[in-house]
Structure 1
């Protein structure tokens, strides 16, 4: 290949040499033109100096012949201008040049001429015109002027000779360049012919190689298609396996809970038919199963990042400290709890109840990993996840975070278990010892809050799970009272319930009446507006969000516009709606997720009604 490319290399080298020489010649011509311009300008300056000397001489002679002082004006102007003209000439004269002696002669002669002119004018001014004229006739001034002219002629000859020498050198270089260019063109033509001959041979070889390559590409493409189909099938199988695991886990847990509810309700019905009233344990069992089903739904929504969050500015140190009693009760006496709280800890903006749930879930998992005996450490710290860390974790945005770490002295986890730890319904615990939703709930909440969660663990060395929540930079928000625990005695308010599902509407209405409220219920937004117009003493609008024609948010906006001061509580079982955006409740919105207990309903109603 090197031998075959040699002609091209040589040809390009010759062309480059010709182009480079041409460029040098152009630069030489440009330098010659610049030198010629400088020579002409230099000679113009000398001519200007001679003209000034002649003006001074003419003014002196006119004054001596007529006695008119007006003749001295050109003389004086010339005398004043000569020093500046000499300075310009000195600046343009190269040092150690053959022009320097001639300039020196000009200066000497000019000094003699100026002295002669000045002396004659002074004699004339004293009244000795005869002596002044004799001094002029003496020829001293003429000799000085002849010296000036002779030196200037010498300078002109030197400049002309220099320009001629430059032109002669340029002509020689251009002549040799013509010869070299012709020879180079012949050489390039010969090299081109050789290269074409070689290229044809190479083209035939390349065509044969391309045909072989195309054949190989077709074979490779067929193999790639086969592999892609196999990989797609594997991915689909993995996806279906994950969906099957999730569906199976949900079905298993919900079937267990529904079995409890159905069994309890059937037994209660049979007892009531026989006139027996001891059905409290069946109702409690059904209620417990329904609560666990609601909790399961909440955990699934957390994993899918669809749970409605109510974020606040959180002091994590204070929150961890406030969980001390709860953790001791949940973990038991066999687990020693240690907290390491960082000084000057930043604030974060997140749902405090969900942070508590996340810490509690991690603590319970740690307790199980330690078999109810060991040491649990909860640590807080300010942390900065830099660009390097974010580059290796695609889901992470670099920046400042509040870090919460939960560390146990348990059995630890292997890398393959760590890879699956956050999957819903994945668990290493024995049957009936866990749902496999604890870590998935933590994962969903942290991601929904814009944070990051990381597991550090080795078998036999314990586990550390770190939660990173984004640092809060804005002003701290005032704490809001939830209104929980307030007495519901002496309830006098009237509530308008808007729900399009008849069974849910009936259940909600009965629960509110049980709490002591006066309830008006309708099934659509249009009916609700009519009831509001007909019943001005309605204190609160309790509306479902997802409804046909007019959703709950539009209804609330219209109702508050017609009746300012009307309190509103939204409810729904679907979190992507008009009051929950990006998983976060809109500001100043009262929201109660379905399903809810009568206690939760009562607390939420009092919270909304008691807000001033």
Structure 2
């Protein structure tokens, strides 16, 4: 870039010539300044940094390279160039077209006279933008790790509550209820199961939960969520459904799909404080060639399309490029975390789909989701009958659970299935029960307990009675335990569990033991 060079001497001394060669080839931006801070000579790297909107020319005051609020600081640094420099000056470039997160580090130092030009200052400009972005990613990863740990703890306690609700509901159903009361109980159970699904989504976002995708009808999923959406939106926002018939099938985790729609609906409600209309539509699309560029492009294929549109205030153009960034929020004063849309994009991407947004200020927003189409819906699994409860009764079961309501409900369930139950509130209490007792036929234990945890208890008991059947229960995700219980021949059951699931898990570990004894 010869336009950024100034004077060429006919016969430069060797030192000056070597300096100019290094100056021109330097990878960081450099400029030679006169004592007043005006540019004498600039290298090509600086020309690339300042961009086309700043005319880099001899005599240009160096302070004009940076944004207006920081020019005084740069002038002071230039004036003090002969003094020891404590730290680089961090500035934003004057180029208005530069990305918002662009940052330069400036160093200014005095040089001896070069070839009769008089004293000079060397201004070095380093682009810190890649480093700054890497630091932001690391900070975001640390925040995600913190969120993950917090989510795991909350999910454990919440899953214990849901397990107690579902267990109590099952006990009431088994006792016999009038039809109207049974229907109301079903709604309680449905709400608890939906809550469990949302907890799974929270853990999936924190990467502590295995995803559970299955093939489902997109229209049916939207219709099933509509009553909850109407309550969520309130009276001021009208919900319109435009579901294309026949409906299309997609393969996705049902709880994740609920989370996508709920997050978009909440954002739409916030964008319509004075009321408006939320429209959810389904359709189909055939993409014949790649749409878009890079990893964000939509590849060719057959898609089911889900559109969520609102008549709200719209999204400013400067916000659109950052809309799906984790922890980016336009509502920090209202408790916005910046996780909602980042979660939506992650769910869609994990499901093999693609999401785009169209919006103009004052004209509302439309989020359009493409999900790969599936041709068939798997047959629904019939729910296990409430009574009679299946189980291989007759065993002597050691039940260890520190939550009293869950311990009582699990003991009642196992006794109704024909088992003898030794119930304990801790590992230490369980060892006390077995002090002068024959070995149990199986151990059913919570994992997270005060004192010794369930996994340690199971290992201790197996050291005394090798091959003891074990079922471990936990409100934490299996991946958060730090161990692989199933790799040690133990069955893991995630809370909240249905009564039939606990009996089936227990039966699955008792059968191999019975076969070995035979």
Name whichever structure is richer in helix by fraction: 1
Name whichever structure is richer in strand by fraction: 2
Larger Rg, first or second structure (1 or 2) = 1
Q: Normalising to structure 2: TM-score of the pair?
A: 0.49
Q: Normalising to structure 1: TM-score of the pair?
A: 0.43
